[in-house]
């Protein structure tokens, strides 16, 4: 019988290990209960906080007078059921029982020894007991007790339902995590305070507990006075009357002031150390909600210009910088900034590179760093656009091989502009006006939208000159599997046909370009409405 039971138990364990529906279900509840990155967890947390607040309100109201029967029913059955189900789900997802069975079975097969059912039970019980005895699980369990209204003494556990909210408030969890990082210092301070409180209690009891002070009847009164005094609260209900007692009081007041100062410095230093991590978490939560994100790796002079252009165009972007001074500069400029090393794959994976990121602009001052960023990004995602800065032509070749789509060479561009200025100063002024957008002159891209008046038309069908625009080029995509393949027609003739997906490169004043884009968008909306 035992062998048959073990056979079915092992078979069930292997079935659960390979069952997609079971694995998806368990992962869903695990993410819902424990994974802060899961998008639906915040709604579950809000729901549980509202349930807890409603339950606490009902139980507090019921202290003085009986609440309505339907409130009693709601608290006794609905709230309790939710708490019990949540507790059992947390117990379930904490560990995998079937994996323990499989591990023991495979070990017994490998060493050719009998399957130990008692060993499996002990390991399962140890895993579950580890969760049951954790502080959060104890609070969850004790929070269920106030539901048994027949035992009025259990009403005191209503406080644990309020404590239960700590699990669902990320800010409170972060606060306790910060304090936990300084537990050695806090334990030391608590030990010193307990020692001084005990010494002061004994001294004041010896000096004034013999009838000298009518308010001190026993040692507990002395401890109460010492604790109130060392915390600088000083209710005034017990005051020393002897010279010795007042001397003790002065000493313990000075000790309390020093202890509070020490405690304040511990908390401030803990927050200072954890502040970058808290900022990173906040930035990550905001960034992961965005799509088509542009990563600006490096916040030097070039990175600042790129970030400025992104801000002006309204595109979402994130600055990644490891230098604290530059991180602070980016924050002051109003940029979303992540203090991290962009050369590490973990940083890009955290940002969900293939899902959320549209382009990566590598503009650090170090060419080698830009090469490493390009290699990592391209190895993680084949489709992301990578624009890299370099100052050496030999490095440019390496960047191309690493997977960079476009290169920026500031020194070469500066040299070309200098040559233009020497030979053609007027042309240089015009080019500078375009690049700096002086008098609102600029070069921009206009996509031919599906269903717009440009879709299916020819270049000659639209009078760009009348709209104070100059058509510089048309970028046409090739009909191939590689969607990034394209060719550019400079100064296109009037019979050049346009179709959806083509990009027009136009030059003109900002207002003219904005008007042209608006007309394209309006024609798309009009055709959609008519259809």
The secondary structure of 168-189, three-state, reads: CCHHHHHHHHHHHCCHHHHHHH
pLDDT, mean of residues 451-466? 82
The neighbour count for residue 274, using CB atoms within 10 Å, is 17
Number of domains in the chain: 4
**Domain end among 138, 168, 198:** 168
513 within a domain of the structure (yes/no): yes
- What pLDDT shows up at residue 366? 84
- What pLDDT shows up at residue 428? 55
20 within a domain of the structure (yes/no): yes
pLDDT, mean of residues 280-298? 77
pLDDT tens for 92-132 read 999 888 888 888 888 888 777 888 888 888 888 998 899 88
pLDDT over threshold 70, residue 440: no
pLDDT tens for 481-506 read 444 566 788 888 888 888 888 888 88
The reply to whether 466 and 317 lie within a common domain is no
- The three-state secondary structure class of 135 is helix
pLDDT over threshold 80, residue 138: yes
The reply to whether 29 and 124 lie within a common domain is yes
**Domain end among 127, 142, 168:** 168
Percent of the chain at pLDDT above 70?
Answer: 84
280 within a domain of the structure (yes/no): no
CATH of residue 523's domain is 3.30.70.1450
- What pLDDT shows up at residue 25? 92
The reply to whether 258 and 324 lie within a common domain is no
The reply to whether 221 and 146 lie within a common domain is no
CATH of residue 189's domain is 1.10.287.70
The reply to whether 155 and 86 lie within a common domain is yes
Percent of the chain at pLDDT above 90?
Answer: 3
Residues forming beta bridges with residue 320, ordered by sequence position? 297, 338
Q: At what angle do helices 243-287 and 183-208 cross, to 10 degrees?
A: 160
The reply to whether 157 and 17 lie within a common domain is yes
Q: Give the pLDDT band of residue 29 (cuts 50, 70, 90).
A: very high
- What pLDDT shows up at residue 481? 47
The reply to whether 135 and 226 lie within a common domain is no
What's the mean pLDDT when you consider all of the chain?
80
> DSSP string of 59-100?
HHHHHHSPPPHHHHHIIIIIIHHHHHHHHHHHHHHHS-HHHH
The reply to whether 141 and 27 lie within a common domain is yes
The reply to whether 164 and 187 lie within a common domain is no
- What pLDDT shows up at residue 479? 59
Strand 469-477 and strand 441-447: the pairing is unpaired
pLDDT over threshold 50, residue 151: no
The reply to whether 11 and 107 lie within a common domain is yes
417 within a domain of the structure (yes/no): no
Describe the chain by its helix, strand, coil percentages, rounded to 5. Answer: 65, 10, 25
The reply to whether 149 and 12 lie within a common domain is yes
Cβ-based burial of 213 (10 A; exposed 0-12, middle 13-18, buried ≥19): buried
**Range of the structural domain that residue 117 is part of:** 2-168
Q: Is there a contact between 516 and 467 (Cβ–Cβ < 8 Å)?
A: yes
Q: Is there a contact between 362 and 407 (Cβ–Cβ < 8 Å)?
A: no
Bigger pLDDT: 458 vs 2: 458
**Domain end among 241, 275, 309:** 275
């Amino acid at each position: 019988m035992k062998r048959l039971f073990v056979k079915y138990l092992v078979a069930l364990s292997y079935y659960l290990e390979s069952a997609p529906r079971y694995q998806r279900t368990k992962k869903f509840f695990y993410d819902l209960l424990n994974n802060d990155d899961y998008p639906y967890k915040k709604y579950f947390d809000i729901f549980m906080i509202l349930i807890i607040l409603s339950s606490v309100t009902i139980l507090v109201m019921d202290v003085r007078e009986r609440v309505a029967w339907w409130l009693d029913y709601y608290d006794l059955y609905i709230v309790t059921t939710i708490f019990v189900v949540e507790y059992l789900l947390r117990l379930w997802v904490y560990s995998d029982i079937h994996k323990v069975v499989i591990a023991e079975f495979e070990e017994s097969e490998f060493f050719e020894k009998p399957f130990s059912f008692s060993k499996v039970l002990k390991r399962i019980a140890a895993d579950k007991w580890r969760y049951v005895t954790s502080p959060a699980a104890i609070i969850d369990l004790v929070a269920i007790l106030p539901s048994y209204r027949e035992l009025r003494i259990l009403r005191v556990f209503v406080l644990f339902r309020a404590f239960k909210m700590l699990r669902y408030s990320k800010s409170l969890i972060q606060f306790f995590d910060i304090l936990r990082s300084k537990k050695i210092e806090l334990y030391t301070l608590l030990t010193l305070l307990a020692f001084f409180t005990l010494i002061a209690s004994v001294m004041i009891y010896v000096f004034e507990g013999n009838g000298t002070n009518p308010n001190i009847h026993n040692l507990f009164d002395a401890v109460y006075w010492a604790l109130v005094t060392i915390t600088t609260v000083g209710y005034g209900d017990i005051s020393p009357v002897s010279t010795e007692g007042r001397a003790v009081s002065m000493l313990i007041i000075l000790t309390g002031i020093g202890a509070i100062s020490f405690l304040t410095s511990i908390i401030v230093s803990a927050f200072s150390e954890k502040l970058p991590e808290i900022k990173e978490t906040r930035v990550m939560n905001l960034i992961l909600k965005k799509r088509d994100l542009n990563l600006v790796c490096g916040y030097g002079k070039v990175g600042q210009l790129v970030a400025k252009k992104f801000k002006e165009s309204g595109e979402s972007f994130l600055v990644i910088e490891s230098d604290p001074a530059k991180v602070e500069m980016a924050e002051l400029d109003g940029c979303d900034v992540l203090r991290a090393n962009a050369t590490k794959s973990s940083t890009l994976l955290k940002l969900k590179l293939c899902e959320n990121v549209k382009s990566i602009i590598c503009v650090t001052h170090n060419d080698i760093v830009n090469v490493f960023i390009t290699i990592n990004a391209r190895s993680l995602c084949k489709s992301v656009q990578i624009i890299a800065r370099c100052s050496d032509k030999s490095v440019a070749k390496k960047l191309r091989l690493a997977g960079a789509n476009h290169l920026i060479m500031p020194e070469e561009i500066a040299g070309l502009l200098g040559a233009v200025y020497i030979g053609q100063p007027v042309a240089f002024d015009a080019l500078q006006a375009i690049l700096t957008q002086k008098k609102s002159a600029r070069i921009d891209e206009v996509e031919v939208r599906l269903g717009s008046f440009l879709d299916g038309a020819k270049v000659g069908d639209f009078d760009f000159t009348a709209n104070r625009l100059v058509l510089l080029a048309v970028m046409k995509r090739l009909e191939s599997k590689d969607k990034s393949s394209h060719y550019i027609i400079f100064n296109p003739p009037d019979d050049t046909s346009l179709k959806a997906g083509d990009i027009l490169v136009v030059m003109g004043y900002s207002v003219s370009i904005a008007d042209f884009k608006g007309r394209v968008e309006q024609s798309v909306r009009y055709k959609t409405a008519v259809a």
